Amino acid sequence: MKDLSIKKLYYSISEVSKITDMEQYVLRYWESEFEQLNPQKNRAGNRIYTNKDIQIILHIKSLLREKKYTIEGAKKILVDIKSEPVIEKAEFEHSFEIENISLAQNENKKEKSSIKKDLKEVKLFLEYLLSKL
């Protein structure tokens, strides 16, 4: 599993989707609606997002999902604060920490599930051996 706390210059759409907890189709739709969100594309045509793009996405998400603005209202706000930093650095880094915690929790759940499965197999094997004695 990739450690998303390591700063990268560019992120794929799947990585940004995990970081922001947004579906990829929503991110692509927001590109068409918000002129501030314009990730570059690599030679293969895949979107490559910068930290600034991720900040913009998190700000749009906050406006639409938490503050309940319409898309038009969010557009006006983004135009008004275009020159200001969208999200404080500490808040941006905090979003990475939260993502890492949730990824670690998912790994723990998978590991526990795997251990449970192994224990059940051992139990069945021991029961089989006991029945042969």
Question: Looking at residue 40, which CATH number applies to its domain?
Answer: 1.10.1660.10
CA distance 117 to 123: 10
Burial degree of 6 (CB within 10 A; 0-12, 13-18, 19+): exposed
Please report whether residue 4 resides in a domain: no
* Residue ranges, the chain, pLDDT below 70: 1-6, 82-110
Is 82 domain-assigned?
yes
The answer as to whether 8 is a domain residue is no
What predicted TM-score, i.e. pTM, was given to this entire model? 0.58
Give residue 2's pLDDT. Answer: 45
Q: Output the CA torsion 45→50→53→55 (10° steps).
A: 150
Residues 6+ apart with CB under 8 A from 12: 46, 47, 48, 49
Q: Is residue 91 in some structural domain? A: yes
Domain total for the chain? 1
Distance CA 37, CA 82 (A): 11
List the domain range (segments joined by +) for residue 19.
Answer: 13-132
Please indicate, yes or no, if residue 39 is contained in any of the structural domains. yes
Assess if residue 97 is contained within a domain.
Answer: yes
Residue 37 lies in a domain: yes
What's the pLDDT tens digit per position in 61-86? 999 999 999 999 999 888 877 645 54
Size of the chain, expressed as the number of residues it contains: 133
Read off the tokens for 42. 């690599």
Q: What is the pLDDT of residue 101?
A: 61
